[in-house]
Structure 1
Amino acid sequence: MSLRNRVSLIGYTGKEVEIVNFENGGIKASVSLATNDHYTNAKGEKVEETQWHNLVAYGKTAEIMQKYLSKGREIAVEGKLTYRSYEDKEGVKRNITEIRVEELLLLGNK
C-alpha cells in the first residue's frame, strides 16, 4: 500500500454489511464506520464528536467482512481514500468519499 494515500481508522460498524455479487464472480462489501473524538470546548465542557465513514472492500476482504461483521462490531481498517460522483434519482450530482479497505482487523468480543 502506498504511503501517499493511506487511512487508518478504529471504530464501530453502523449497520449490517451490504453485499454486491458481480456476474464475473467478484464481490463488493459496503458498511459505515463511526469514529469518536473527544475534546474540551471553550466553556470547559467535554464534547464527543462522531464522524461517519463509508467503507468498501472487494475480493477476500469483502468475503471476510460478509462473514464476520455485524452492526456494532469494533474494527480497525487501513486503506485508501477514493472519491466518486453519481446522479441521484432526481438527476442531482452527488459526490461521495469512501475508504477502500485493504487491511481489516476484528476487535472486541462480538
Structure 2
Amino acid sequence: DYRIKTIVFRQLIRHQSTDTSLILERSINRVQLLGRVGQDPVMRQVEGRNPVTIFSMATNEMWRSGDVETSPAGDVSQKTTWHRVSIFKPGLRDVAYQYVKKGSRVLVEGKLDYGEYVDKNNVRRQATTIIADNIVFLSDNIRGRDQ
C-alpha cells in the first residue's frame, strides 16, 4: 500500500512539474548520539545571525580482541569519538546552555552537517557538526548555571 502511494505520488509530481528534471525524493539525514558532554556549552553569535549553543560530546565503542574461546576475558579495547553539537532552535538552545554541563550523560538527536572554516592561521579546514533538534537529559545531577 505504501509503495503504491509512493509510486502514484512520484508520477503525480513528474506529471505536474514543468521542469522534467525535477524529481522529489524523500531522503533522511538523522543522527542519534548517546554519550557524555565534554565541556560546558558556550553560546556564540555570529554577526547578523541568531545565537547558537555549542558543546562537545564523546561516544565510546568497545570490543574484545583475541580468541574469546581460549581467553574468555580477552583484551577489551575502547575508542572514543568526539562530536561537535550545535543548537540553533531557540527554546532548545537556551535550555541546553543553561542545563547541559561537562560530564552530563545525554541523548542528542539531529542531523549531520558538513562545512568549512578558516582557522587562526588562515588554513581552510573541514568541520562535521551535529545540528541538534532534541536533547534527552539522562544524568541525575543536572543543575542550572545560576545554582
Q: Offset at 1:26?
A: 3.2
- Number of paired residues? 109
* Aligned counterpart for 1:62 among listed residues 89, 93, 102: 93
Task: Write out aligned runs for 1:78-89 (5 A).
Answer: 78-89=109-120
Percent of pairs with identical residues? 29
Could you state the TM-score of these two structures normalised by the residue count of structure 2?
0.68
- Of structures 1 and 2, the one scoring higher in RCO (CA 8 A, sep 6+) is 1
Residues 4, 20 of structure 1: CA spacing in aligned structure 2 closer, same or farther, 3 A cutoff? same
Match of 1:109 in 2: 140
Comparing 7-16 with 43-52, greater Cα deviation is found at 43-52
Comparing 33-42 with 71-80, greater Cα deviation is found at 33-42
Amino acid across the alignment from 2:87: A
Could you state the TM-score of these two structures normalised by the residue count of structure 1?
0.89
- Asked whether the equivalents of residues 28 and 56 of structure 1 are also in contact (C-alpha less than 8 Å), the reply is yes
1:91 matches 2:117:
no
* Aligned counterpart for 2:77 among listed residues 37, 47, 51: 47
Amino acid across the alignment from 1:50: T
The structure whose residues are more often strand, as a share, is 1
SS class of match (1:91): coil
The structure whose residues are more often helix, as a share, is 2
> Which structure 1 residue ranges, 5 or more long, are not aligned?
none
Amino acid across the alignment from 1:56: S
CA distance in 2, matches of 1:86, 1:80: 19
1:35-87 Cα offsets, whole Å, 9 max, x none, are 11110123631112111000000111110101111110010011000011011
> Which structure 2 residue ranges, 5 or more long, are not aligned?
1-25, 68-73, 142-147
Match of 2:35 in 1: 11
Larger radius of gyration: 2
- Asked whether the equivalents of residues 83 and 97 of structure 1 are also in contact (C-alpha less than 8 Å), the reply is yes
- Asked whether the equivalents of residues 27 and 63 of structure 1 are also in contact (C-alpha less than 8 Å), the reply is no
CA distance in 1, matches of 2:93, 2:126: 23
CA distance in 2, matches of 1:26, 1:86: 18
